[in-house]
Amino acid sequence: MTDYEEEASMAGTNPDIGELALAFEEMAQYPISGEVVIKYRDGRAVQARLSDGDGESTLREIAYNFSSGVIRFESVRGGRFEVDPEVVVARSEFRPIVYLDQCHWSTLSNSIFEPARIRNERDRDAAAELLDLAERGKVIIPVSSAHTLETSALFDVRRQNLASTILRLSRGWQMRSPIVVRMHEMASVLGRKLAVSSFVPETDVFSLAAGAMDTNRRVSDASGLPPGLAALFDRMTSFSAIYDVLMNPARIPSPKPGWHEHYQKIARDPEFQARTPKQKIIDGRALAIADVAPEALAVAQSLGIDSLEQVSIVLYEEFSSMPFMRLYGDAIGHRLAIRANWEPNDLVDMLYLGCAAAYADVVVAERTATNYLQRAWGNRDSECPVVAKLPDAVDRLSQLLT
């Protein structure tokens, strides 16, 4: 069947993405002008203007390739980024997950845009090696909502350089919201121990799914579209929003949560400090469960569990079987025990670095977080994946990829 025959056969129907791929090679949207261009496989192109456009968009082009399944973005300043297709395939090659704290993303950004800012030769070499591994698809370096929050606090060229680096290397890979991850851990434990019939699906902590890093999933309105096209519309809308916001040079001040103040008071409390180290570990876990009480209630209700006392007992008894919750609670206990100073940003670090440490292969954090996460790791069967320096991360990766 020729392209013209395929086009005619689709007329008057509502074709899904597989049928469109028979005739179309690529479709591209130009946010600033509001134009859309569809390229046929025979070389023809159709152009239309669907809106007045958005003159403030930082994206010049958003395109989808029907052959590769890749979504491509081009920024106004010339950066090109790709989002890998969300396909379920058996990977024959192991690809380690590397989660970077924001300070190490900055090192990678400097290695691309301002190499003179990296004075340590080992850091410079390690950044170049990690960039090479990412560009060759040997490792996965996901973005998280913590990165978007911290990047938004920057502005102008520095922010755009950092955002460009994150978007270029992550290729659409995201770490799910830690809130979602720990709710899933609780649901799995409660469902298993209390023998409720509700099905708790598996979930990938690191994912290419649209909106994976959002705590509250917002699905784009694609009513009327066939399933495949609706999914594509959702992905293109979700990723374009992330990319456009990150590349915007305007500063957005970070919120200052009061979460840390409660722990600051406990750390300075003489009665708490008089407790034994073992008791402080127990306290840390109990405080972690108290922290997630609203989430635990929501999970219990979704599973049809009425007894909140029973929920608390099960979560405490099964604490060690929840990778992220265990590390989060033990990190709280350790930091309280050593009378650490609690800062507003500690909540972001403990949530995101803790979640990454529980599930990623290598986590590169700043020195203080590395110290308390390593100590909170305890006597687990595996080695703590958290390191404080890029050269150490590259050494770990060399071992994993051998």
SS3 assignment, position 124: helix
- Angular region, 80: left φ>0, alpha ψ -120 to 50, beta rest: beta
Strands 35-40 and 24-30: antiparallel
CA gap 100, 98 in Å, rounded: 6
Looking at this protein, which amino acid is placed at residue 392? D
Tokens at residue 31, please? Answer: 């946010």
Q: Report d(CA 399, CA 402) in Å as an integer.
A: 5
Instruction: Tell me the average confidence (pLDDT) per consecutive run of 10 residues in the chain, 402 residues long.
Output: 47 78 94 94 93 89 95 91 76 84 95 93 96 95 90 78 92 94 93 72 86 77 78 89 80 68 86 86 89 90 84 92 94 89 86 96 96 92 95 96 89
pLDDT at position 257: 63
Q: Which helix (H) or strand (E) holds 100?
A: strand 98-100
Strand (E) or helix (H) holding 309: helix 308-317
Residues paired with residue 47 on neighbouring β-strands, in sequence order: 37
Encode 302-319: b = buried (16+ Cβ within 10 Å), e = exposed: ebebeeeeebbebbeebb
What global pTM score does this model have?
0.90
The pLDDT score that the predictor gives to residue 86 is: 85
Q: Are strands 59-65 and 71-75 parallel, antiparallel or unpaired?
A: antiparallel
Beta-carbon contacts of residue 262 (< 8 Å; ≥ 6 apart): none
Phi, psi of 203 (to 5 degrees): -140, 140
Element (H, E) at 63: strand 59-65
Tokens of residue 130, six digits: 């990690």
How many Å apart are CA 244 and CA 60, to the nearest integer? Answer: 10
pLDDT on residue 138: 93
How many other C-beta atoms lie within 10 A of the C-beta of residue 265? 11
DSSP string, 7-44: HHHHTTS---HHHHHHHEEEEEEETTTTEEEEEETTS-
Report the run of H or E that residue 176 belongs to, with start and end.
Answer: none
Q: Is the dihedral of CA 274, 275, 278, 284 positive or negative?
A: negative
Contact 296, 186 (CB under 8 A): yes
Are the CB atoms for 122 and 392 separated by under 8 Å?
no
CB 326 within 8 A of CB 320: yes
- For residues 66, 70, 73, 79, the Cα torsion angle rounded to the nearest 10 degrees is -130
pLDDT for res 160: 87
Q: Are 171 and 84 in contact (CB under 8 A)?
A: yes
Q: Which residue in the block uniquely carries the two structure tokens 């635990």?
A: 296
Beta carbons of 145 and 215 less than 8 angstroms apart: yes
The C-alpha atoms of residue 360 and residue 384 are separated, in whole angstroms, by 10
- 44 Cβ contact partners less than 8 Å away, ≥ 6 residues apart: 3
Sign for the CA dihedral angle at 222, 247, 360, 401 comes to: positive
